[in-house]
Structure 1
Amino acid sequence: MTIVGFHASHEQLAPARLLRAVQLAEEAGFDAAMCSDHLAPWSVRQGESGFAWSWLGAALQATRLPIGVVTAPGQRYHPTLTAQAAATLESMFPGRFWAALGSGEALNEHVTGDPFPPKEERDERLLESVNAIRRLLAGEEVTADGLVQLDRARIWSLPEVPPPLLIAAVSPETAADGADWADGLITVDQPREALRAVIEAYRDAGGRGPTAVQVHLSWAPTDDEARAIAHDQWRSGLVPAPLAWELDTPEAFDERTADATPDEVAETVQVSADPGWHLARLLELVELGFDRIFLHHVGTEQDAFIHAFGERVLPGLKEATP
C-alpha cells in the first residue's frame, strides 16, 4: 500500500496553525507528515517561516504520525547541530523521525554572511556533512578539516537506532550522487518522464530504501478558486533551477514572478476542484514506483482540503501498490 502524507509548509502557516493542521490530517486518515525547514518564505505574500525543529518536537508529541523534515546541513546548520537535533527527536519518538538532506538554497543560507557556494561545492559540502552526521549518530567523536570543520564533536544523547537519512534530489544527477549514502529518496513533482529519470538514476546507482515525492496541488470548491490560490501562493514555483537556489530574498522571487499568469502557475501546480482528477494524477505517481506521496495544498486554509481529500482521495490512493 502507498503511504500518503501531509506536507506542513512553514512558509505559509504560523506554527500553531500548522500544528493543528497536522493533527487534523491524522484524524482524516493521512499516514505520515513532513515539513519544510526555511528561515524565509518563498514570497512576501506567504509571510511565515517557523523554526522547523521546535515544531517537529511538538508535532511528534501531538500526533502518532511518522514525520520528517527536508533540511540543509553545512552552512546555516553546522552538521553537529543537525545530528544533535535528529538524535534527540529519534530518542524521544523512536522509529517516527526521518530527515532528508539537501545542498540548500541561498534564500535560507545567505544569512550567515558566508558566500553561497556554487553547486559543485555545495554537493561536496553536503557529502562531508552527511559523513559527519553519520559518524556522530554512531557515537563517534569527529574532527574534520574540509569544507565543513569539526573539532572533537560528539553527540551524547543518542537513540538506539539512528533515524533514516534520505537524499533530497530534484535532478537525476543529484539522485545518483546520493545513492551510496542515503536510506531513501525524496523529490518533488515534475513531468512524469523527469520523475522516472530521477527514480531510475537513484536505483541504477544502487539506491536503497523508499522513494517519496512531494506534490504541490491546489484544491477549492471551484476551479477558479483553486487557480487563484495557486497563483497567489505558489507562483514562486515558476522560478527554474538553478536560479531558484540562487535568489536570496522573498522579494527577489516576487519580482521574478510578478508577471506570471494563473495559467502558467497551473503548469507547475496540480490545480482542480475535482478530487477525482487529483486522484488520477496521483495514481500516476504510484505507477512510476513511488512508495510515499506527500500532498501539499498550497493554500493557507487547510481544513477543507484535509477533509475533502481524506474522504475522496486518500482511500483510493492508499490502496494502490507501487
Structure 2
Amino acid sequence: MTVYGIHASHEQIHPAELLAAVVHAERAGFDAAMSSDHFSPWSARQGQSGFAWSWLGAALQATDLPLGVVNAPGQRYHPAIIAQAIGTLGAMYPGRFWAALGTGEASNEHITGQTWPRKEIRTARLRECVDVIRALLAGEEVSHDGLVTVDRARLWTRPEQPPALVGAAVSVPTARWCAEWADGLITVNAPVPHLRQMIDAYREAGGRGKLHLQVHLSWTPDQAEAERLAYEQWRSNVFAPPVCWDLEMTEHFDVVSEDVPAEKVAEVVNISADLGRHTAWLQEYAELGFDEIYLHHVGQRLEPFIDAFGAEVLPKLRTATAG
C-alpha cells in the first residue's frame, strides 16, 4: 500500500512550527514525513531556513513516523559528517530514517567559498561521497583522496541496519545513473510521461528499493487563494536546471522570478480548491508505482491542509488502493 507523508519545508516555516505540524500530521493520519535541508530559502518571501539535522532528531522523538531527508554531501557537508549523522539517527531510531543524496544547489553550497563545480564534477563527487558514507556505515576505517578527502575516519556509533541511501533525480539520465548505487529513487512531481520514463530508466538499469515522490501542491477552500499562495510562495521555484542549480543568492531568485506568469507556477505546483482533484492527481502518481508520496503544501499555514487532506483525501486514496 502506498505511504502518504508530509514534506517539511524548512525554507518556508520556522522549525518549531514544522515540528508541531508533523505531530499534527501523524494524528491526522499521515504515514510518514520527509525534510528539506537548505542553508537559505528560494525567496525572501519564504523567509526561513532552519538546520534540518537538529530538527530531524526532534521530529523522530516527537512522533512515531518514519522520516527522510534530502541532502547534498561534498561541499557544505563533509561525507564523514553526514555518515555520522545518518548513523546516529539510524542507531537511535532503527528502521525509521532514510537519506536521499543529490548533487545540490549553489544557493546552499556557495557559503563555503569554494568553487561551484560543473555538473559532471558534482556528479562524480557525489559518487565518491556515497562510497565513503557506505563504507563508514559498514564499520570500515576510511581514507580517500579524490574530489573529497577523508583521513582515517571511522564511525564508533552505528546502526545494526544502515539506513537506506536514496538517489535524488529530476532527469531520466540521472535516474538511470542512480541505479548504480542507490537503495531507492526520489523525484518531484512532473508530467506523468516524464515520471514514467524516470521510473522505467531506473528499474531497467537495475535500480532497487522504493520509489519516492515529492508533490508540490496548493490547496485552500478558495481557488483564487490557492492560486495566490502558490504564486506568492513558489514562483521562485519554477526554473529548470541549470538555473535552479547555479543561482547563488536568495535575491537572485527573487529578481529572476519577478515576472513569472501564473501559468508557469501551475506547471510545477498542483493548484486546486477541489480536494477531489488533488485525490485524482495523487492516485495517478500512485498508479505509476510510487511507493511513498510526500505532500508539500506550498503555503506557510499547514494545519488547514493537514486537517482537510487527513479527513478527505487520504482515506479515499487508501480505499482506492485497497480496492
Q: Which amino acid aligns with 1:186?
A: I
C-alpha distance in structure 2 between counterparts of 1:81 and 1:103, whole Å: 16
> Deviation at 1:262?
2.4
Q: For 1:72-124, what per-residue CA distance to the aligned partner results, in whole angstroms no more than 9, with x for missing partners?
A: 00000000000000000011100000000000100100100101111100000
* Superposition pairs of residues 230-249 of structure 1, within 5 angstroms: 230-249=230-249
| 1:298 aligned partner | 298
Cross-structure match for 2:113: 113
2: CA distance, partners of 1:262 / 1:141: 52
Equivalent-residue separation in structure 2 for 1:269 and 1:24 (angstroms): 23
- Aligned residue number for residue 160 of structure 2: 160
User: d(CA) in 2 for partners of 1:190 and 1:24?
Assistant: 28
Please state how far the C-alpha of 1:321 moved relative to its aligned partner: 4.2
Counterpart for residue 126 of structure 2:
126
Distance 1:318 1:26 in 2: 16
| Percent of residue pairs identical | 61
1:215-235 deviation line (CA, Å, top 9, x unaligned): 000001110000000000001
Where do residues 242-281 of structure 1 align in structure 2 (5 Å cutoff)? 242-281=242-281
Once residues 318 and 135 of structure 1 are traced to their aligned partners in structure 2, the CA distance between those partners, rounded to angstroms, is 38
Mapping of 1:50-65 within 5 angstroms?
50-65=50-65
SS at match of 2:206: coil
Partner SS, residue 313 of structure 1 = helix
Q: Is the 8 A contact 1:33 1:65 kept in 2?
A: yes
Deviation at 1:263, TM superposition (A): 2.6
AA partner of residue 270 (structure 1): N
Distance 1:109 1:320 in 2: 42
Q: Normalising by the residue count of structure 2, what TM-score does the alignment of the two structures yield?
A: 0.98
The Cα offsets for residues 270-303 of structure 1, whole Å up to 9 and x where unpaired, read as 0001110100011110111111110000000000
Residue of structure 2 equivalent to 1:171: 171
Q: Counterparts of 2:72 and 2:320 in 1: how far apart (Å)?
A: 32
In structure 1, distance between residues paired with 2:320 and 2:240: 31
SS at match of 1:234: helix
TM-aligned CA deviation for residue 264 of structure 1: 2.3
Check whether the contact 1:2–1:320 (CA below 8 A) recurs between aligned residues. Answer: no
SS at match of 2:5: strand
Q: CA offset at residue 145 of structure 1?
A: 0.4
| Aligned-partner SS, 1:151 | strand
- Asked whether the 8 Å contact 1:4–1:317 carries over to 2, the reply is no
> Corresponding residue for 1:37?
37
Partner residue of 1:211?
Answer: 211
C-alpha distance in structure 2 between counterparts of 1:236 and 1:74, whole Å: 25
CA contact (8 A) 1:88 1:159 kept: yes
Q: Report the AA paired with residue 210 of structure 1.
A: K
One-letter code aligned to 1:34 = M
Q: Give the unaligned 5+ runs of structure 1.
A: none
Q: Distance in 2 between matches of 1:320 and 1:170?
A: 28
Aligned to 2:286: 286
What is the one-letter code of the residue matched to 2:172? P
Where does structure 2 lack aligned partners over 5 or more consecutive residues? none
Whether the 8 Å CA contact 1:286–1:320 is kept in 2: the answer is: no
Structure-2 separation of matches of 1:67 and 1:23: 12
Cα drift, residue 320 of structure 1: 4.3
1:101 and 1:47 mapped to 2: Cα distance? Answer: 25
1:239–1:253 Cα contact (<8 Å) kept = no
1:317 to 2:317 alignment = yes
In the aligned structure 2, how far is the partner of 1:37 from the partner of 1:319? 33
Aligned CA-pair RMSD? 1.0
For residues 246 and 156 of structure 1, what CA distance do their matches in structure 2 show? 37
Which residue pairs with 1:144 in the alignment?
144
The answer as to whether partners of 1:4 and 1:294 remain within 8 angstroms in 2 is yes
1:172, distance to aligned residue in structure 2 (A) = 1.0
Q: How many Å separate the matches in 2 of 1:261 and 1:321? A: 36
